[in-house]
């Protein structure tokens, strides 16, 4: 067979490679690099998702999280009674050291002269009262969690600060779809290449290969994205049932997505840390101090006679302040226990997974659709530009510039 035959035969195969390559590059550039590389503002690139982290995070919150449940429902699904028992058990072994610390730094003179027997009675009283106080505190937190934590702020700040985590929300839930986009470039590119071969055989004009290269790069991206999300609802066509590839995997995606969200984003630890250190922290601090106040009053009343002898009752004010400060300070420690966090997260995961699996297709697609919708035209144009360059290269390297 002549060299000319092999040149012509290469056209559909090259078109397939162009479709595969442009789709692969387009997906990579959707998510990478995490930070801008190059010279701002125009000479360089940052992944489409990372470059709009705050906006994408807000879309995630408003279009997905808020449809699946409130923060209060999530917190309740983690079984507040079990949380109370865990905190109580963890603090029990540290109560004596915590008590010594707040008593000594609050009023060292009084605590030094306190007989051991009285100290033991203070320890016992704190240990006896703490479970009841914690139970009341956790109950109020459960009722008022929406007031204590700005849920949207927590989620957006988390995802904006960790762009890799934001990427994973899309990449892990849509892994099968992204693989399809890359592979489909090869298939659709080859089909377009057959058309390109026919046109080139009849009309060897210089613009045919670059034009079809642009067409292959742009259209394969558009077709692949369309197949992922359309048709929205199952549609019978002869013996086949057609539906968007992503939508057909709703059960599987729901399980993957809810596991990632509850293990790395909406965790019990993150909720508590946001409550204690976030924008509404003062409300939480005041609540903790209020619930701890009964035991503070009991301790200071029992210490009053000693204070009169030592340095005066005004010294007890230091103890009152210290107890409240210490209670706020140690409030996050019980939630640094990863296995307990994961156990609570699995309960929330079950709730979110069930609700997501029951979403109508029009709402479920919003989980992945924003990833493409935000800058879909960029992906299509990028594919077209890369295809155009490949077509020009093919024209000169294979056909010597055409006619």
Residue that wins the pLDDT comparison between 221 and 61? 61
Instruction: Kindly state the DSSP code that residue 337 receives in the 8-state scheme.
Output: -
Buried b (16+ CB within 10 A) or exposed e, 142-180: beebeebbbbeebbbbbbbebbebbbebbbebbebbbeb
User: Does 402 reside within a domain?
Assistant: no
User: Does 217 reside within a domain?
Assistant: yes
Tokens of 186: 């090869």
User: Does 109 reside within a domain?
Assistant: yes
Of 12-26, 83-97, 182-196, 301-315, the range with the highest mean pLDDT is 83-97
pTM: 0.82
pLDDT of 225 strictly over 90: no
Instruction: Determine which helix (DSSP H) or strand (DSSP E) holds 384, and give its type and residue range.
Output: helix 376-397
Beta bridge partners of 240: 237
- Tell me the pairing of strands 240-242 and 37-39: unpaired
Mean pLDDT of the chain: 81
Identify the domain containing residue 151 by its residue range: 3-397
Confidence of residue 219 (pLDDT cuts 50, 70, 90): confident
Question: pLDDT digit string (tens) for 379-399?
Answer: 778 778 877 887 787 777 666
User: Does 20 reside within a domain?
Assistant: yes
pLDDT of 308 reads 47
pLDDT of 208 reads 77
Instruction: Determine which helix (DSSP H) or strand (DSSP E) holds 45, and give its type and residue range.
Output: strand 43-45
Radius of gyration of the chain (CA): 32
The Cα 229–Cα 247 span in angstroms is: 7
User: Does 351 reside within a domain?
Assistant: yes
Give the pLDDT mean for 256-263: 92
Give the angle subtended at the CA of 54 by the CAs of 52 and 59, to the nearest 5°. 90
pLDDT of 310 reads 47
Lowest-pLDDT range of 103-117, 146-160, 218-232: 103-117
**Contact between residue 151 and residue 57 where contact means Cβ atoms under 8 Å apart:** no
Lowest-pLDDT range of 52-66, 141-155, 239-253, 366-380: 366-380
The Cα 17–Cα 6 span in angstroms is: 16
pLDDT of 150 strictly over 80: yes
Confidence of residue 75 (pLDDT cuts 50, 70, 90): very high
Backbone angles phi, psi at 76, to 5 degrees: -65, -35
52 closest CA partner among 34, 27, 77, 76 = 34
Lowest-pLDDT range of 50-54, 209-213, 275-279: 209-213
The Cα 142–Cα 80 span in angstroms is: 7
Alpha carbon 121 to chain centroid, angstroms: 48
Question: pLDDT digit string (tens) for 315-365?
Answer: 556 666 677 787 888 889 999 988 999 999 999 999 999 999 998 888 888
Total domains in the chain come to 1
Give the list of residues 6+ apart from residue 276 with CB closer than 8 angstroms, or none.
284, 285, 328, 331, 332
User: Does 86 reside within a domain?
Assistant: yes
Question: pLDDT digit string (tens) for 263-315?
Answer: 999 999 999 999 999 999 999 999 998 888 787 777 666 555 554 444 444 55
Beta bridge partners of 45: 37
């Amino acid at each position: 067979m002549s060299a000319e035959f092999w040149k012509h035969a290469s056209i559909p195969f090259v078109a397939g490679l162009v479709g595969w390559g442009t789709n692969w590059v387009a997906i990579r550039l959707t998510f990478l690099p995490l930070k801008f590389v190059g010279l701002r503002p125009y000479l360089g690139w940052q992944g489409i998702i990372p470059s709009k982290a705050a906006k994408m995070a807000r879309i995630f919150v408003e279009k997905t999280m808020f449809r699946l449940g409130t923060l209060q429902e999530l917190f309740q699904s983690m079984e507040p009674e079990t949380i109370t028992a865990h905190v109580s058990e963890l603090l029990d072994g540290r109560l004596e050291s915590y008590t010594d610390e707040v008593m000594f730094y609050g009023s060292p003179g009084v605590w030094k002269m306190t007989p051991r027997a009285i100290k033991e009675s203070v320890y016992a009283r704190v240990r006896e009262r703490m479970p009841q106080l914690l139970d009341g505190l956790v109950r109020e937190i459960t009722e008022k969690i929406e007031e204590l934590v700005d849920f949207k702020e927590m989620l957006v700040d988390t995802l904006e600060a960790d762009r890799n985590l934001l990427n994973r929300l899309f990449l892990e839930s849509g892994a099968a779809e992204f693989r399809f986009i890359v592979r489909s470039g090869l298939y659709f590119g080859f089909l377009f290449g057959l058309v390109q071969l026919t046109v080139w055989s009849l009309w060897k004009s210089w613009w045919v290969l670059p034009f079809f290269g642009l067409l292959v790069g742009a259209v394969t991206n558009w077709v692949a994205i369309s197949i992922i999300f359309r048709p929205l609802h199952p549609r019978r066509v002869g013996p086949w049932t057609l539906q968007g590839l992503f939508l057909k995997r709703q059960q599987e995606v729901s399980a993957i997505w809810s596991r990632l969200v509850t293990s790395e984003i909406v965790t019990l630890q993150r909720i508590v840390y946001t409550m204690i250190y976030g924008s509404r922290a003062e409300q939480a601090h005041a609540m903790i101090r209020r619930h701890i106040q009964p035991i503070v009053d009991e301790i200071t009343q029992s210490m009053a006679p000693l204070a009169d002898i030592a340095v005066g009752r005004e010294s007890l004010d230091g103890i009152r302040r210290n107890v409240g400060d210490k209670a706020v300070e140690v409030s996050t420690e019980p939630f640094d226990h990863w296995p307990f966090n994961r156990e609570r997260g699995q309960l929330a995961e079950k709730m979110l997974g069930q609700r997501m699996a029951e979403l109508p297709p029009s709402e479920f697609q919003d989980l992945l659709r924003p990833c493409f919708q935000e800058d879909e035209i960029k992906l299509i144009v990028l594919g077209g530009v890369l295809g155009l360059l490949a077509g020009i290269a093919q024209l000169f390297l294979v056909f010597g510039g055409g006619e």
